[in-house]
Each structure stands twice: as C-alpha cells, then as structure tokens.
Amino acid sequence: MPLPSSSATPLLFEQGQPGRATPYVVSSASARSFLPREVLRDDLELPDLSELEMVRHFTRLSQKNFGIDLGFYPLGSCTMKHNPKVNDAAAALPGFSDLHPYTPDHLAQGALQVMWELERALSSLFGMAAFSLNPSAGAQAELTALLISKAYFRQRGDSARTTVIVPDTAHGTNPASAAMVGYKVVSLKSKENGRVDPEAMRQAVGPNTAVCMLTNPNTLGLFEDEIATIAKIVHEAGGLMYYDGANANALMGITRPGDMGFDLMHINTHKTFTIPHGGGGAGHGPVGVAAHLVEFLPTPLVVRDGPEGRTTPAHAFRLDFERPLSVGPVRSFWSNFAHAVRALAYIYANGADGLRRVSQLAVLNANYLRVKIAEFLSVPYDELCRHEFVASAQDLKHETGVRALDLAKGLLDEGYMAPTIYFPLIVPECLMIEPTETETKETLDAFVETLRALVARAQSDPQTLLDAPQRTPVGRIDETRAARQPDLRWMPPSSGANER
C-alpha cells in the first residue's frame, strides 16, 4: 500500500489563526501565562489552532513515516520484526515507568528483579557467565567490550596487545569501535565461500593480537562453520574472541557463542528481542562475558543476596558498585530500563521453546526468499543461509543500468521498506534481505512478486525506476548533500534558510 502523498502539508507553526483556540486547546496567549518565562523566546510565534487542525496535523505526520506496523521491513542486519504491544504495556506499568532512578534499592525490588532475571536469561541463552545491561546500543556495547579487553590485558601486565582483527564481512561499527579505544585494526579477507579463512587467521594473529571481532552468522547470512578452529587459533595466540551478536535471530536455542569459544559478546535487544527501533533510537546493547572477564564488567551489576530458590527473600536484589576492577559505568543510571522490561516480557512470552521456534522460522523465511529471489536476481552465496541473505543487482545493472539503489527506491513506491543496500561491502550492488520470523507466507510471496515485477520493469522501462520513488512524501534526494548538509530544523521563511 503506497503511502499517501501530500508533500504540501503545512508545518504546524504555519497553520491556525488568532482566536482559533477552543475549550479543548488553549490560546497562545494563555500558554504564555503558564509556561515558564525562561523557556520562551520573545520571537517565537505560537500559533492558535483548533483541536481538529492539530489532530489532522499529527495524524498526517504519523502517516508520512514508514514503520513495521505499516508494512514489510526486510532491512538486513537490522532485524525489524513485529513489536508485540504487550511489551510496551509492560514497560508502561506505573511501577516501572514512574520509578525515579535514585529510588533506594529496597524500594525498587521489582525493577531490580527485572534486570537480574534478564541478565540471567541472556547468560543462559548465550552461554556467557554474566551480562551487563549498561550499554545503550550495539556500538556502545562493542566499545565497552573492548574497554573490558584492555582492562583484562592491563591487569595481566600484557601491554603488547594493540591490534584487533576484523573480517571484511564485519559490521562497520566493529572497526570503528576498535579504533575508538585506540586499537589498530587489521582487516581479514574472506574466503571464496564468504567465510573467515583459518589460514589467513593463523597468519594474522601474534603476540600483539588483543581481540578478534566476529559476527556469526556473518553479514552474508552464512554460519562460520570453522568457528571452533578460529577460536582456538586466536586463543593460542593469547587473544580474546568477541562475538557481535547484535542480530542473534538465527541462534536462539540452537547454539551459543559461549559454547563456540567466545570470551565477550553483545546482543542488541532492540533487534533480536522485538524492541521498537528506528530513526536511530533508543537502543539497548547488553554486553556478556565469560567467567574470566566478569570482574571487569561495567558498574553497577544487579546482584541477589540470600539463598537460591524460587521464593526470594525480601530486599534480595541490590545494585553492586563495589567492583574494583570494573571499567566503570558506561551509561547514566540503569541504561534504557524500559527496554529491559520489554526484552524480558518477550523472553517470557516465548519461553525457551518459543525462542528456538523464532530462530527456526527466521531461518526458514530467509531461505524461502533466497530461493524465490534467485529466480530473477543473482544470489552470490547461494547456499543455506541463516536469518538473512544477500542478493546482487550487478548483472541487472550491466544489462539495464538499474542499480540496487533504484530497486530499493522502486520498492518504496510499492509500499515496502527497502532492504539494506551496498552492505556488506564485498558484494557489489547488493541487497541484504532479512524477512524475520514474524511475516506470513502471503507477505513474503507478495514481496517476491513485487521485486520480480520491478526487475521486469528494469528491462522494459528502466527510466521509471531511475525516477522512483514517485509516491512517497519525499522523492529521490541527493544522498551526498543530505549527508553533508542535513536540513533538520525548521526555519521561518523570512530567514531564507530553506531556500537552497
């Protein structure tokens, strides 16, 4: 379903007339009387609006945005799946949402129990000794894990370890995080079959290897079947294995990074555990460690005092700040606590068997799409994939001039979110597709037929794709200029700032 096109929507400030205020909406003059003086600028014109003008304005705005609640969102690596509304209801319970971060532990036992139970659930699901719920994004979790690795080597008096090994299929945040903590990044070229080459790894490691950062399944959607050998090589060289589990949709209940030999990992609850995300926020990236690294985790950790068992004693949970080897807090307060509630609600709604089923269906759906799409687009690594796979428009581009970007824009016109494009970098003109387990066969079939029709249109009428999208609120933009000169702020027409 295409989005309604209404590019001429006036901004809120440009609507209304003096005297429009109603019993439902206060006038601008009375707003001035109760808003604190220090937050109001004299030159700020507040509009007088009727309630209907406001309702229409905000409803229209909400329709300009594409979201998972509106249509299929096959954005590879980002795991945009259905966000069960009950998770939001749980996070909005007043006992959680009204809790002040400075509430003393003995009055916040329920919230602490949520954090403790989530930490325990993640540890058992991924085979790690402990997790910190502190980082508020995947990239921040990577940074935290690398800080932990530094603290670990420092404590061992091993100052020679200065490099991080990152395969060329890695997510872009991996080398960026390594560089941010001052490690030197060594990129590792993948084998023909899209996987890490153990021989190349053997050549790359040495006494200066600190960490090897791997994503498994990697960004081509392929499982690193020599992972045990790779872990052994890195460990024998004295390095640590880091698992980027941002997107663990193919793994849950099937295999665990801890069992594969990883020392550190992170998980994006905003991807794998159905937390709404988009527009860059708000994330949640718990970081997990094996037993030898627990003492370096960020503070505070939630601990439980007293005997193990189903019935917990009163005041059993507390925040532990007394951790002398900790890298310290990496985030204010208790991170995005509402996300911890959502993630735990999701885990409990599914249970262990349900989470395994989630992974099985995510893999099944990805393979279903892979086989169907291979009928009309090339699929460079055409073998069983995990939760995602990569197709390429390279041949199509040679034949018709239509690129992955143009197919992506064409999909927007047809009411779909585009897949991730031009990533991973090792596949030219790639489209990285992740359907997730939450879509029906009918949705997947409709997507395939839409994409098939776009590829046919590339042959018969390529210009229409080069001009797409036509039906979205914003047409094709100059992507370079949008990145270099983002226009994010409304300016009054008189300022001339909008006339570019």
Ligand X SMILES: *Cc1c(COP(=O)(O)O)cnc(C)c1O
- Sites of contact with ligand X (CB under 6 A): 77, 137-139, 171, 173, 215, 244, 246-247, 268, 283, 285
Closest separation in Å from C-beta 73 to ligand X: 14
| Of the candidates 382, 380, 411, 381, the residue with the CA atom closest to the CA atom of residue 393 | 380
How distant is the alpha carbon of residue 55 from its chain centre? 31
Closest separation in Å from C-beta 287 to ligand X: 12
49/118 with CB nearer ligand X: 118
Angle at 413 between CA 409 and CA 418, to 5 degrees: 45
112/170 with CB nearer ligand X: 170
Residue 447, judged by CB atoms within 10 A of its CB (0-12, 13-18, 19+), counts as buried
Closest separation in Å from C-beta 162 to ligand X: 23
Closest separation in Å from C-beta 283 to ligand X: 4
CA distance 242 to 224: 14
Strands, sheet with 430-433, edge to edge from the N-terminal-most edge strand: 389-392, 430-433, 420-421
149/400 with CB nearer ligand X: 149
163/268 with CB nearer ligand X: 268
Closest separation in Å from C-beta 424 to ligand X: 10
209/268 with CB nearer ligand X: 268
CA distance 339 to 83: 12
**Which residue has the CB atom at the shortest distance from ligand X?**
138
**Which phi and psi angles does 390 have, rounded to 5°?**
-125, 125
Cβ-contact 170, 213 below 8 angstroms? yes
77/87 with CB nearer ligand X: 77
Closest separation in Å from C-beta 294 to ligand X: 23
How distant is the alpha carbon of residue 247 from its chain centre? 8
194/283 with CB nearer ligand X: 283
116/126 with CB nearer ligand X: 126
Closest separation in Å from C-beta 258 to ligand X: 18
Closest separation in Å from C-beta 357 to ligand X: 22
